[in-house]
């Protein structure tokens, strides 16, 4: 069996990913998490070991990396606007934390990392669809920090023989996202608690919305096929915020208002990604369109999310 270390494994993605890993009897799982943003039930067992700690703490990182075969690095400071408010915190978690992971791997002979990255925030307001060969022009400290993390993964791969893949996620949504501030989760929380959603801009801005089970499938395939390099993981189609509101109105069983405010500095206006490289390399094939995925996410929030 191979031991997989999942940093940030108690969060939104990890809560959805770990059951998929455990369903494959080739893997056991260790989680390194500071437990400040827990998204679901996570209990230690014969298949899951939990190391409570922060990726900025090299001693905690060393304890978690010990005896791992693969690292899936999800732990991060992920909110664009928060990174603008406090860029130093964002740097310390995303850059220093990733460096700590890579250094611990180097010292302990762990040679495989799957790094969670981002597309739009790294590439900036580029003409979509964005792809892996485009020049990076980060529009926020968050995007810059993720680009730096990608750079360190690439450098360690070439300098020390690590197998490193960075997966650039698009705008994620799905079950266990109650603690997320991204568009779909925030809309659902605001509809159910306030009866109003806030749109920053005129609603024409577009995003590539990726349902979390499709993301999990992509991560799992990247782990299983030993690919390396940078890959975009999205649904591959744009959806405007106005269209998303229309989908919400068709699914929600409550009325809600829409309040428009000015665009926020550092946010991308239009983005969606080209996913051919991931399809060709490891069979990545997202299946859940935004209408179906929004319905699944809504149902989780109004039923399971209250438990």
Catalytic residues: 142
Contact 228, 277 (CB under 8 A): no
Spatial CB neighbours of 86, under 8 Å, sequence gap ≥ 6: none
| Extended strands (E) in 88-227 | 112-118, 163-169, 171-173, 196-200, 206-207, 209-211
Place of tokens 């509101």: 245
User: What's the CA gap between 274 and 269, in Å, rounded?
Assistant: 17
Contact 168, 118 (CB under 8 A): yes
Place of tokens 């990392």: 113
In DSSP terms, which residues pair with 231 in a beta bridge?
167
Spatial CB neighbours of 243, under 8 Å, sequence gap ≥ 6: none
Output the CA–CA distances (angstroms, integers) from residue 67 to 63, 164, 194, 232, in the order listed.
9, 18, 47, 30
């Amino acid at each position: 069996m191979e031991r997989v270390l999942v940093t940030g494994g108690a969060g939104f993605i990890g809560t959805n990913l770990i059951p998929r890993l455990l369903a494959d009897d080739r893997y056991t799982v260790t989680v390194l998490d500071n437990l400040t943003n827990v998204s679901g039930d996570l209990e230690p067992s014969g298949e899951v070991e939990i190391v409570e700690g922060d990726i900025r703490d090299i001693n905690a990182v060393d304890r978690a990396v010990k005896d791992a075969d693969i690292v899936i690095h999800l732990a991060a400071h992920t909110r664009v606007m928060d990174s603008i408010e406090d860029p130093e915190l964002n740097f310390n978690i995303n850059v220093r934390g990733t460096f700590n992971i890579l250094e611990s791997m180097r010292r302990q002979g762990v040679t495989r990392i799957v790094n969670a990255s981002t597309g739009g925030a790294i590439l900036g307001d580029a003409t979509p669809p964005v792809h892996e060969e485009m020049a990076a022009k980060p529009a926020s400290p968050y995007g810059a920090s993720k680009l730096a993390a990608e750079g360190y993964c690439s450098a360690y791969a070439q300098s020390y023989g690590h197998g490193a893949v960075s997966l650039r996620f698009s705008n994620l949504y799905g079950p266990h996202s109650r603690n997320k501030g991204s568009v779909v989760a925030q809309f659902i929380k605001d509809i159910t608690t306030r009866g109003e959603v806030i749109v920053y801009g005129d609603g024409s801005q577009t995003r590539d919305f990726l349902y979390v089970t499709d993301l999990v499938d992509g991560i799992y395939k990247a782990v299983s096929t030993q690919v390396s390099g940078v890959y975009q993981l999205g649904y591959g189609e744009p959806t405007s915020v106005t269209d998303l509101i229309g989908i919400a109105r068709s699914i929600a069983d409550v009325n809600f208002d829409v309040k428009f405010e000015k665009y926020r500095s550092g946010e991308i206006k239009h983005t969606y990604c080209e996913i051919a490289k991931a399809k060709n390399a490891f069979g990545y094939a997202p299946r859940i369109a935004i209408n179906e995925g929004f319905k699944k996410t809504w149902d989780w929030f109004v039923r399971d999310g209250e438990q």
